[in-house]
Amino acid sequence: MDEKDSMTPDTIPQSTPVDGTVPAGRKNRRPVVIGVAAVAAVALVTGGVCGYRAYENHQVSMARQACQSAVTDLGKTVKSYKALLGADGTTAALKTDATSVKDAKTLDALKQAAGAETPAMVKCDASDKIGLDAAAAKADKTAKGVKAAAKALESAVKAVESSKLDKTVADADGLYKATEGNVQDEKTREALKQAIAKRDAGTIAKAAKSVNDSKAAKEKADAEAKTKAEQEAQAQAAAEAAAAQSQTQQSYSAPQQSYTPSYSAPQQSYTPSYSGGSTSGGGSGSSVPDFVPSSGGHGVGSANDCDAACRAPIQH
């Protein structure tokens, strides 16, 4: 029934007589009104059910899209974490020796950060909004955990690199101080000092090599000079010793002695004298020649010569 028909005078309700009779003009209108109301009610119920189902399907679809988006973000986060874990900087930091860093604790933190397990992926396989929302929430939470692990890993890598640089700077500063006056070219130490101030590892390494090379060159030159000086001192000492020996030989000559033995035999001269003796009393007599030596050399010339003459052998 359209709006025009509903506004006609026939549809205006009429007062009902006391006896309950219906006017003749409205006897056939009630069934029509009831039928329209029933159809409207059925349409309303049917439309409501269909509308709810459509709304519910829409909600499920939106939840599924949200879940898929969360899972996609999780996948990207995990991929980024894996890329950071396999990066050259991370690999180099993990291979760093404890002697190469100033603080060894940074290596422990790095190993812990790199040891985080990669989470499993979340699936949006639920058929209702509640299940899809739960999956999306799980994907979001997992992604946040992976992002936190990636941030911790990145910070740990930077901490190791910073500690390595601190150790490099400290070693370079020690080299600078230890080589004062011990390099062949002082400019190399000045370049090292500037590199330390810049805290540039590459520049420090280059400058430190130059200082070490200059130090080695000076040590070599000093060693050669020392060897040469020792050789010259030895040569001079040998020359002085040779000169002293030659002078000694020239100033000394052995004494010469000549010996001619001479011998004079003692000479003796004597003149024997003999005088005949006489015997008396008829006896026989013997005569002994008188021997009176006359001293020509060893004869007795005086009383003082008696001893020598007396000791002389008697010749018969």
The 10s digit of each residue's pLDDT in 114-167 is: 998 888 889 999 889 999 999 999 999 999 999 999 999 999 999 999 999 999
> What angle is formed at CA 271 by the lines to CA 267 and CA 272, rounded to 5 degrees?
130
Give the residue-averaged pLDDT of 14-38.
Answer: 51
For all residues of the chain together, what is the average pLDDT? Answer: 77
Q: Read off the DSSP letter of residue 102.
A: S
Q: Given this model, what pLDDT does residue 127 score?
A: 87
Amino acid found at 87: A
Tell me if 167 sits within 8 A of 102, measured CB to CB.
yes
In the structure, what pLDDT confidence band is assigned to residue 297 with cuts at 50, 70 and 90?
very low
The per-residue pLDDT for 209 is 96
Q: In 3D, which of 79, 196, 68, 88 has the Cα closest to residue 133?
A: 68
**Which has the higher per-residue pLDDT, 289 or 180?**
180
All residues at 6 or more sequence positions from 128 whose CB lies less than 8 Å from its CB, including other chains? 60
Supply φ then ψ for residue 294, to 5 degrees. Answer: -110, 130
pLDDT bin (cut points 50, 70, 90) of residue 30 is low
Per-residue pLDDT, 257: 55
Calculate mean pLDDT across residues 78-96: 94
**Lowest mean per-residue pLDDT among 60-69, 130-139, 223-232, 292-301:** 292-301
Reported as a pLDDT band with limits 50, 70 and 90, residue 311 is: low
Position of tokens 């929302």? 133
- For the chain, the C-alpha Rg in angstroms (whole number) is 74
Which ranges in 179-305 belong to alpha helices (H)?
187-198, 201-250
How do residues 222-276 score in pLDDT, each as one tens digit? 999 999 999 999 999 998 888 888 888 776 555 555 555 555 555 555 455 444 4
Contact (Cβ atoms closer than 8 angstroms) between residue 173 and residue 196: yes
User: d(Cα 57, Cα 134) in Å, to the nearest integer?
Assistant: 17
DSSP state, residue 298: S
> Any idea where the domains of the chain sit in the sequence?
29-160, 179-241
Share of the chain above pLDDT 70, in %: 63
Q: What is the pLDDT of residue 247?
A: 82
Give residue 40's pLDDT: 53
pLDDT at 300: 45
pLDDT, position 161: 95
- Return the pLDDT at 117: 85
207 in Cβ contact with 172 (< 8 Å): yes
Do the beta carbons of residue 126 and residue 132 sit within 8 Å?
A: yes
Measured between its terminal Cα atoms, the distance across the chain in Å is 222
